[in-house]
Chain A
């Protein structure tokens, strides 16, 4: 007959914890995590009878944001420098402790607006800022595709309302 301590002491105790995926994602466990944790109650810590399961990322909570509107079909003369690392063979002089990696990105606009209570974003540009498309020839653009991204270029999760966007396109001299 086992004692209370034996199952902890000899490492034979094995538990199963099954949680709904949403609950785990709220802690920072990655999407795609099976939601089932089957693990021995081991002595991984300096104390017995202790099991720790650690999330792979931070909880997906944002209290502030800066959305990005990116063109997916037309190139735009915009740049981003938010990455933290350069490849080791990059031909640039850089301080890796402070300098961010720069690159051209098709950013139409950044929107530092967010309502943390209900997630509603209503942006109106009082003075539209025109970005060069730099097209050397006329383009017949039957497909105009854009996307809204989080500040880290990850896709947003849209609530159950239609998103509306209006863009202006002007030719030289207008």
Chain B
């Protein structure tokens, strides 16, 4: 009997050349005695240094290009889903405000409100999907009235839609007679899991009219928030929004009182920013009123107020880095009575990969492009959108571009 020992570093291929005779007699037999090796099977993927991802939303404009680097690490076979999540997150970090508009500050470029997704097709193959994210009015989709994206209690809340086609305006307020409150029971919450899109996104609300009720309590204004919890599940008409679900918030109470905010899921913090323009009595033209905004750019959540203090003036409150896999659900609550607090121009860019109601389960097929005929253009805010908000939201954006902030 012979024992032959072999070794290799060549991906499991053993090759030998014996200098002496190796006679194998007629009708011999062979067996494996032992084998030791290490495969890369336990390691699914090794992300090397400088694993760059470059996304250019317009091949004709280098200023729409963004390069990011995926963090170097190893993924085991048990971390497959984590890899997909991290890769999606890294892809979405390429979508930034400053790279979405190109060298000519052109809002027409396509990474204004858009997102990537790592998906799976019917055959089980992974996909890299990129899609535009429409900036919608969550109260009423004028193209498809059944497709509201927020839910609320009609006894408490009174969203008023006025104007005909081309002039529709949505104003949010409490029902007449409902009292001022200090909690978040008067609320609009996500319906059917509608949430902010990953990638480049925006959530805004404007103070239409804010007057003081004469008191000193926190019962006068309204707040907008982003929760990591899908708050609309099992909607309770009269329940407060639980503290554990208040991840990010911006709240205004009354003129002369600083904006409040939450940036860490804990208690409210007092900012140094005061409301600038907020009441129709002193400023009858709402175009100049403060706009509360959440904006995600390059996976950084920016919280702040756009104010009429010069072109594109923005008062930042806080910035927080979004983590892989985090989902953000927009909500709004009102504390002041209808005589003291009214909110309008409430919009957010929505996750376009959520299934439509009764439609394509792999991605909503109802939303049209922002700016096309059957959606947001037909409303009463075109002048605001084109002349004022574009300057306020981003001073780079040009006045004559047509972006819709209200359906």
Contacts and interface: CB of A to CB of B under 8 A. Distances in A.
Interface of A: 1-9, 13-20, 22-23, 25-28, 37-38, 41, 45-63, 65, 67, 69, 71, 74, 76, 108-109, 111, 114-125, 128-149, 155-172, 174
B323 interface: no
A69 to B, nearest CB: 6
B146 interface: no
Task: Categorize the interface residue count of chain B.
Answer: 35 or more
A49 B131 contact: yes
Contacts of B11: 155-158
A142 B24 CA distance: 10
Interface stretch (B30-38, B209-217, B225-233, B338-346): B30-38
Contacts of A13: 57-58, 110
A3 B401 contact: yes
29 contacts: A1-B398, A1-B401, A3-B372, A5-B369, A8-B132, A13-B58, A14-B58, A17-B128, A18-B53, A19-B52, A19-B53, A27-B118, A37-B128, A45-B360, A60-B44, A69-B35, A74-B24, A74-B30, A124-B34, A135-B26, A136-B27, A145-B13, A148-B37, A159-B40, A163-B12, A163-B37, A164-B35, A168-B30, A169-B24
Interface centre among A28, A61, A76 (most CB of B within 10 A): A61
Nearest to B372: A5
A162 B34 contact: no
The 7 closest A-B pairs by CB, nearest first: A49-B132, A5-B369, A148-B12, A119-B42, A163-B37, A2-B108, A128-B31
Interface in B5-20: 5-19
Given A8-B369, A169-B29, A20 B48 contact: yes
B181 interface: no
A137 B27 CA distance: 8
A174 to B, nearest CB: 5
Given A1-B106, A49-B110, A170-B31, 15 more contacts: A16-B55, A47-B365, A51-B131, A62-B41, A63-B77, A69-B35, A133-B28, A135-B24, A158-B11, A158-B39, A160-B38, A163-B9, A166-B4, A168-B30, A169-B3
Given A121-B35, A167-B32, A7 B44 contact: no
Nearest to A16: B56
A17 B11 CA distance: 32
Contacts of B5: 164-166
Given A54-B121, A133-B29, A162 B41 contact: no
Given A23-B53, A165-B6, A131 B29 contact: yes
B112 interface: yes
Contacts of B39: 67, 114, 119, 121, 156-159
Contact of A120 (B25, B38, B80): B38
B2 A158 contact: no
B54 A18 contact: yes
Given A20-B51, A41-B110, A165 B35 contact: yes
